[in-house]
Structures are given as C-alpha cells and as structure tokens.
C-alpha cells in the first residue's frame, strides 16, 4: 500500500506540474488521500461485514485486514474536494490529473492483496492459472463457506465438505486444510492488476489530448474502473444486496457519474474552468514578465496555463508574431503585450461571468 501511494503521489505531482499547478498541492492531496482512503476503506468494510465487531470494537477498527476500496475512494474524494475548493481550484482539473495515478495505485495495491492472500481472491476454478492460498491470512476454507452454502452443487466438484475436515498443517493464523492446499481459486487481484495497467496506459495516452475537455479523463476513469470492478465481483464472494454486492452497486454509480461528466455540456461554465495559453517566442523579456504574473495568480484564481512558443509556419505566427506575449483564454484572445495581476483578476472574473473573451479589452501597446 505504501508503494501504491508513493507512485500515485509522484504521478499526480508530475501531472500537476504539467498543468502549471504547485507540486505542494500534490503532496497535500496524497496525504489527504492516504488518511481518507484508510478511514473510508475501514468504515465501508465494517458496514459490509458487521460481524467483525464480534472480535471487539478495538480489533474491528484497527485491524489491518478488511479494507473496502470504494469506501476509501469515496471518503478520499470528498475530503480532497473540500481541500481543492478551499484553495479556489478546479476540482475536475485536479481529478483529471489524478485519474492515471488512481488506477495504477489501485493495481499496485492489489499486488499486496495477492501476496497476503487476504480474501480478495475469487471462487474455485479449473482454469490452468488458478492458484491456491493456503498460506494466506484469510483461509479459503473459511472465506468460501458461504459460497458452497449458496451453490451446493459445487461441493461435489471441489470436495469442499470432505477436504475442509482434513487438517494438513497450522500457521500463525488458523489451521490449514486439504481444501486450502489443493483447490485452485481465481487470482482476482492479478486480474485487477492487469486491467489497472491497461486502463492506466489508455488514460496516460489521452491525458494531453483531453486537456481542454475538463472532467473527461476522470469520467472515463470512473466508467472503466466501475465496469471492471462490477464484472470481477461475479467471481468473488461478498454479501449481496438485491442480487449485487455493495461494490457492484457503487461500481454502477461510478459508471453513471462518469457518463454524466463526459456527456455534460462542454463549455466554460460547466466547471467554471478557464484554460489559458501563453504565446511566446525566442528572446522575449515581456514573456517572462507575463509568466510571473500568471504564476502569482494561478492557484488563487484556479486556472491552468500552457506555454506555446510560436515560430514561422505554425498557425499562430501570422496573427501574433508582432504582438507576443499573447494570452488566449479557452481559445479566444484574452490579452497581449502585458497584464498586471489586478487586470488578470478582473478579466478572469469577467470571463467567469460568461463575458466573451473577444470583448475583453486588451492592454494597449
């Protein structure tokens, strides 16, 4: 889990830097995600498995076993939303930056689940890549009791009633049975690691392409993660609520939210977000001055900007080569030559009030 948060934090900081946002924000968000993730994962696990309180309240609350991913994700997102809004930043831009980090961190975390054998494995299988988890912290004999109660026909296939009574060893947790040692199960954590890598590669390849479509990358992440988690729950054994597990219901909700983010009206007012482009060229001292103004205000005003160095034969040259530095806001002319911090605040406020960027007065030469 520690490695997952480190890798996720590094990727988030890298993406925030690319979006011209402070790396310190990434560090703070990672810490919030760590705290909120652990808190939410434990609380949702206790909601799903209230029998854990039978071992005592202290054991139920502080046992490292039993963590529900979606619980951690939901609580972490809520806490991060509050923090981001307190900094007057765009939550969806931050969420887009975090999407690749979220999915790869999830996949890395599943390696730990696989090595620990903590009950995240799947149901019995005859497939050649099935694995045994006799040395895991959660023994299949115990974890799959309900599965064979629901599916009595499977008992004769995997000899559950017979093998569970044959003790073959003992570890620091509980006795090991012949069922634990001999019956192969779906390595569900490895399935999740595989799809996490594939989703990460896809999101990483699209992060620049969808930069101007705020919320789309995060929306696609929610859909893909929700869909894959929904499907993989069919080979796991979790308590059911109206024929589906809690993770499946939350996965369906994630798919709906992701779809809304993608299909929502794509304009500035949809997330009150502004994407600024700074057109520069070689040997431009005014360009450096304008960068200082933008850097001083970007976090407070909640905008991103990218620097584009124009040159002959590109689409910007003929119109702006003699006007650099030029600011474009959401693809429209915003300012040229120079701008003060006060002017920047005023104009962004006007733009957020749905004023047309074409009608904002530029600073005279």
Per-residue pLDDT averaged across 192-202, rounded?
96
**What pLDDT does residue 49 have?**
63
Per-residue pLDDT averaged across 146-157, rounded?
91
Residue 50 pLDDT exceeds 70: no
Residue 159 pLDDT exceeds 60: yes
Distance CA 80, CA 349 (A): 24
Per-residue pLDDT averaged across 45-67, rounded?
57
Under the banding of pLDDT at 50, 70 and 90, the label for residue 217 is very high
Tokens describing residue 96:
């887009």
Residue 147 pLDDT exceeds 70: yes
Which range, of 118-127, 255-264, 317-326, averages the lowest pLDDT? 317-326
Distance CA 40, CA 34 (A): 10
Distance CA 234, CA 122 (A): 9
Query: Cα-flanking dihedrals φ and ψ of residue 130, to 5°?
Result: -60, 150
Q: Which residue has the higher pLDDT, 349 or 49?
A: 349
How many CB atoms lie under 10 A from the CB of residue 128?
Answer: 6
Q: Which residue has the higher pLDDT, 283 or 255?
A: 255
| Strand blocks (E) in the chain | 167-170, 175-177, 240-241, 244-245, 275-280, 304-309, 326-329, 332-336
**What pLDDT does residue 48 have?**
63
Query: Cα-flanking dihedrals φ and ψ of residue 326, to 5°?
Result: -125, 135
CATH superfamily of 274-359: Glutaredoxin (3.40.30.10)
Q: Which residue has the higher pLDDT, 61 or 19?
A: 19
**What pLDDT does residue 259 have?**
94
CB 308 within 8 A of CB 294: no
Residue 358 burial class via C-beta count within 10 angstroms: exposed 0-12, middle 13-18, buried 19 and up = exposed
Q: What is the mean pLDDT of the chain?
A: 82
CATH 3.40.30.10 domain range(s) in the chain: 274-359
Pick the closest to residue 301 from 335, 272, 333 (CA basis): 272
CA distances (Å), origin 164, targets 68, 88, 148: 27, 58, 12
Q: Which residue has the higher pLDDT, 346 or 54?
A: 346
Per-residue pLDDT averaged across 260-265, rounded?
79
Tokens describing residue 331:
């693809």
CA distances (Å), origin 194, targets 33, 103, 136, 257, 314: 23, 11, 21, 24, 41
Per-residue pLDDT averaged across 51-71, rounded?
57
Q: Which residue has the higher pLDDT, 270 or 164?
A: 164
- Whole-model pTM: value is 0.70
Q: pLDDT for 237-252, tens place per residue?
A: 877 888 898 889 989 9
Q: pLDDT for 93-130, tens place per residue?
A: 889 999 999 999 999 989 988 998 888 899 999 999 99
**What pLDDT does residue 35 have?**
83
Tell me the percentage of the chain whose pLDDT exceeds 90: 32
DSSP-derived secondary structure letter, 22: -
């Amino acid at each position: 889990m520690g490695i997952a948060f480190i890798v996720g934090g590094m990727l988030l900081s890298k993406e925030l830097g690319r979006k011209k946002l402070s790396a310190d924000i990434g560090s703070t968000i990672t810490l919030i995600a760590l705290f909120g993730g652990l808190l939410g994962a434990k609380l949702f696990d206790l909601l799903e498995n209230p029998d854990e309180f039978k071992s005592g309240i202290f054991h139920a609350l502080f046992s490292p076993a039993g963590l529900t991913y979606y619980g951690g994700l939901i609580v972490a997102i809520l806490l991060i939303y509050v923090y981001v809004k307190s900094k007057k930043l765009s939550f969806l831009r931050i969420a887009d930056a975090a999407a690749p980090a979220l999915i790869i961190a999830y996949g890395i975390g599943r390696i730990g689940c696989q090595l620990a054998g903590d009950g995240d494995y799947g149901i019995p299988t005859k497939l050649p890549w099935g694995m045994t988890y006799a040395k895991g912290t959660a023994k299949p004999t115990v974890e799959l009791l309900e599965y064979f109660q629901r599916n009595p026909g499977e008992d004769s296939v995997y000899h559950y009633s017979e093998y569970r009574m044959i003790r073959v060893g003992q570890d620091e947790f509980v006795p090991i049975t012949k069922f634990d040692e001999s019956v192969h199960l779906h390595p569900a954590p490895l399935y999740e690691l595989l799809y996490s890598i594939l989703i990460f590669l896809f999101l990483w390849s699209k992060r620049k392409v969808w930069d101007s479509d705020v919320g789309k990358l995060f929306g696609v992440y929610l859909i893909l993660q929700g869909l894959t988690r929904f499907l993989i729950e069919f080979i796991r054994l979790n308590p059911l609520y109206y024929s589906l597990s809690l993770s499946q219901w939350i996965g369906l909700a994630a798919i709906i939210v992701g779809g809304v983010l993608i299909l929502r009206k794509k304009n500035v007012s949809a997330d009150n977000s502004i994407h600024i482009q700074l057109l520069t060229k070689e040997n431009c001292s005014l360009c450096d001055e304008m960068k200082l103004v933008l850097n001083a205000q970007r976090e407070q005003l909640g905008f991103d900007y990218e620097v584009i160095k124009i040159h002959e034969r590109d689409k910007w040259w003929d119109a702006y080569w003699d006007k650099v530095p030029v600011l474009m806001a959401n693809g429209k002319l915003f300012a040229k030559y120079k701008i003060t911090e006060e002017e920047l605040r005023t104009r962004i406020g006007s733009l957020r009030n749905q004023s047309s960027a074409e009608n904002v007065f530029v600073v005279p030469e």
